[in-house]
Chains A and B, each alone.
Chain A
Amino acid sequence: MTLLVSARKARGSFVLDAAFEAPLPGVVALFGRSGSGKTTLVNIISGLLPADAARISLNGETLTDTTTGVDVPVELRRIGYVFQDGRVFPHLSVAANLRYGEKRTRAAAFVRFDDVVALLGLGALLARRPHQLSGGERQRVALGRALLAQPRLLLLDEPMTSLDGARREEVLPYLTALRDSLAVPMVYVSHQYDEVLRLASHIVLMEGGQVLAHGPVSDVSLHPRLAGVVGLDESGAVIETTVKGLDGNGAAEVAVGNTVLRTTLRGCRVGSRVRLQVPARDVILSTRPVEGVSVRNVLAGTVVDLVDQEDGEVLVRLDLGGAPLLARITREAREALALGPGVRAWALVKTVATRGHVY
């Protein structure tokens, strides 16, 4: 199962010219700054926005092809859409909103009304009117309504942008539940990197209407252009791995390449699949093994490449025997340590510096 997208659309001086291919089911994140063309692209996928030239196909079925004139009407695409502003029908109750798409679908149901209500915690809201809902509740209703239309693909356009931090934390678990328990294929538009790291399996990195890179999250996390979008402070290798052991003091040991990394992870067990991000700014490099330091992780590796960044900084990519790591150092440090491709190096990573979650 695949989602294949290529689209071109000029709007004044802005030109969207994007193409990507992503495996499904999974969560494909369209990630980039505001104005990078994410919403335009997702509107083209939905069919709501006509493109100058486009080819969209889902699991081999062509939905749009401007060269052959194929253009499946939006209402027949079976592509759900959760809009930034929810767009819950103000004249209908929550229950009637949820039923709106369900009543109109001719597809076999993969989710039932009661399941969606339970999964999204909507039981107490069913009789309410949309204006009696909070922002987070409204987005959950929009999500449930889209799901009950039994979509083959669910588009989410920054569904949490209008929510504050606490409300965001209230909605995010529902999205992960959706991904894990229903395996609904999703395209998730976001400019929040932390959201993408928690939800996505695949990233389409966008800037100025172009796709800079696309691929699995761990691959794109190493892409030299990512730092330009998320900022150097947010860049760092993303590693998907499993928990090997727990030390009883809150630290977990996870396999990384041919070595073991100690990290702090909540709610994991031995064998849990986890996704870790090791911020590049928190990685110290040494050309000799180090002893007598508080850092618990001293990982041996080899320098793969070095990419110059702005402000005299360098992003160094290491290979830890099959797993990558990014380190952010100064140019001066590169000269002093004579770092270059192929050089043997040790990475020092504080246990508390890594960020991870069970995946």
Chain B
Amino acid sequence: MDAFLTPEVTQALRLSLAVALRSVLFSLPLAVSAALLLSRARFPGRTLLDALVHLPLVLPPVAVGYVLLLLFGARGPLGGWLAQHLGVHLAFTTAGAALATAVMTFPLMVRAVRVSLEHLDTGLEQAARTLGAGPLDRFFTVTLPLLAPGILAGAVTAFAAGLGEFGAVITFASNIPGVTRTLPLALYTAMQSPQGDALALRLAILSLALGLAGLLLAELLVRAVRRRLGRA
């Protein structure tokens, strides 16, 4: 048996890691803001925003990819503007794969942050107020550090899920080797080719191992942070 990591496998793995990482970095601040907005602010249209955030959970991923293509494609309203003014092209690029992944994993992250927000002792923020901390100061020195376990868990889970995003990526970013052919896309391609069985199996095992490692890491991180806060 030849080496487990063939060039095709490493390429797909690297690409998957890069796409998932970029998607997490891009959506993390937005997810934290959305979670704060949804659980603390009262404004008209809150329920609608809540539904929009969770939409990728229930929509077929292909539909999400298609909507992204309509919006961010070369002739889409946003895609056209981005290409013209910033020279940024999203459809059929690695960045596009990351965007599609970010949209798909967004609800996971928002949920994780929201759960820890709901468990947050608002009394600690009040205490910070009485000690002279203004709103931004309180947010960065009390709220955010206390949300850290939830944010970390959400980020790691979203990262692990992002490694395997298929439908939205293939629809919006296509299946281009070295550009958008991530692990699941490479797996799909291998399954379609007559001699691809061995490769497909390797890719499947690798996906499984990565997913499991991601979930375990998320759990360990949460425990470590909780222990630090004395709430184990």
Seen from chain A, the residues whose Cβ lies within 8 Å of a Cβ on chain B are 46, 48, 73-81, 83, 85, 87, 89-91, 100-101, 104-105, 129-132, 145-146, 149
Of chain B, the residue at the smallest CB distance from A96 is B141
Instruction: Check: B59 CB closer than 8 A to any chain A CB.
Output: no
Task: Verify B133–A91 contact, CB threshold 8 A.
Answer: no
Instruction: Check: B14 CB closer than 8 A to any chain A CB.
Output: no
Task: Verify B127–A83 contact, CB threshold 8 A.
Answer: yes
Instruction: Check: B231 CB closer than 8 A to any chain A CB.
Output: yes
Task: Verify A81–B146 contact, CB threshold 8 A.
Answer: no
Task: Verify A130–B127 contact, CB threshold 8 A.
Answer: no
Q: Which residues of chain A come closer than 8 Å to B231, judged between CB atoms?
A: 90, 131
Instruction: Check: B75 CB closer than 8 A to any chain A CB.
Output: no
Task: Verify B146–A48 contact, CB threshold 8 A.
Answer: no
Report how many residues on chain B are interfacial, defined by Cβ distance under 8 Å. Answer: 22
Instruction: Check: B40 CB closer than 8 A to any chain A CB.
Output: no
Of chain A, the residue at the smallest CB distance from B127 is A87
Interface of B, secondary structure class, is helix
Instruction: Check: B84 CB closer than 8 A to any chain A CB.
Output: no
Q: Which residues of chain B come closer than 8 Å to A146, judged between CB atoms?
A: 130-131
Q: Which residues of chain B come closer than 8 Å to A129, judged between CB atoms?
A: 228, 230
Of chain B, the residue at the smallest CB distance from A149 is B131
Of chain B, the residue at the smallest CB distance from A103 is B132
Instruction: Check: B123 CB closer than 8 A to any chain A CB.
Output: yes
Tell me which of B134, B145, B229 contacts A131 (CB under 8 A).
Answer: B229
Of chain A, the residue at the smallest CB distance from B232 is A131
Q: How far is the CA of A81 from the CA of B124 in the complex (A)?
A: 12
Task: Verify B132–A75 contact, CB threshold 8 A.
Answer: yes
Instruction: Check: B62 CB closer than 8 A to any chain A CB.
Output: no
Q: Which residues of chain B come closer than 8 Å to A85, judged between CB atoms?
A: 123
Q: How far is the CA of A79 from the CA of B126 in the complex (A)?
A: 12
Instruction: Check: B142 CB closer than 8 A to any chain A CB.
Output: yes
Q: Which residues of chain A come closer than 8 Å to B148, judged between CB atoms?
A: 91
Q: How far is the CA of A273 from the CA of B221 in the complex (A)?
A: 58
Q: Which residues of chain B come closer than 8 Å to A46, judged between CB atoms?
A: 130
Task: Verify A145–B132 contact, CB threshold 8 A.
Answer: no
Q: How far is the CA of A99 from the CA of B7 in the complex (A)?
A: 55
Tell me which of B129, B130, B145, B230 contacts A130 (CB under 8 A).
Answer: B230
